[in-house]
Amino acid sequence: MLVDPDGRKISGDTAMVDKLENAAGSIIKSEEARQVRLQKRIDKRIAKGKSTDKLEAKMSDSKARVDEIKGLLSDISNLRKSTQEYHINSNWTPTGVSGIDGETVYNPQTGAIDVNITASYGIAGLAHELTHAFQFDQGLTDFNLDGINRGYLHDITDEQAAYRRQFAINGGIKGKSSRSQIADSCVRGLSTQHTYLPAFHMNKKAPLQKLFMFHGTINLKLTYYPSFGHAIKSYQDAKKYSF
């Protein structure tokens, strides 16, 4: 399991990352202008003694969207400073499960984390995958060394965060009209790959006991850990063991 590799920066289609950052900047500007207009309307209604609930809800949606996008921009800037290489393939053709628009995977040949995006997935999809990339950089998610699948730290909160970023860029999550609708059950319904993800946060500090409780039934290798007396050790302590 790959937890703490070494490498470089963002490579590949960096122009697409620039395009995402420009779009993100424009969204922040237009949401901030919208917030000024909303505040004027709120003030007027307060002066008239009228309810401002609906306008306040719009204001809070707008602020949440700006926060998501600022978080994304901060992640991108941190990825550029990372010692790990993240390689953007923006014209990717899926080879495995059908209906997949993008993926973030470990590439055993290059040592890079490949961020693979189909042409139609676009910058909103890139926002989703770069969110996973930075989750990896922080030790919140991981990848199998074979590069095929995500590792034991992948959980539903990782996906929820990525879908909320995607939504903040284009609002395009099937039938969802607000950020708050992108919750646990919604995310599980978006892909069969998400159906059985752990419902709680897993990170590299997660106790092996916790990983065992969730994954022990699906990967017998993990059952070794509690019997080795490592139950109170964390996943990062176990890096020297192979999963």
Enumerate binding residues for Zn ion (CB under 5 A): 159, 162
| Torsions phi, psi for 105 (to 5 deg) | -140, 160
**How far is the C-alpha of 130 from the C-alpha of 132, rounded, in Å?**
5
Q: Which is nearer to Zn ion, 147 or 216 (CB)?
A: 147
Nearest distance in Å: CB 54, Zn ion:
33
Q: Which is nearer to Zn ion, 162 or 222 (CB)?
A: 162
Closest CA to 180 of 65, 21, 30: 65
Q: Which is nearer to Zn ion, 38 or 104 (CB)?
A: 104
Q: Which is nearer to Zn ion, 79 or 162 (CB)?
A: 162
Nearest distance in Å: CB 95, Zn ion:
17
- By Cβ distance, which residue is nearest to Zn ion? 162
Nearest distance in Å: CB 226, Zn ion:
30
**How far is the C-alpha of 104 from the C-alpha of 117, rounded, in Å?**
9
| Torsions phi, psi for 230 (to 5 deg) | -100, 15
Nearest distance in Å: CB 31, Zn ion:
24
CA angle 70, 67, 195 (to 5 degrees): 100
**How far is the C-alpha of 50 from the C-alpha of 171, rounded, in Å?**
30
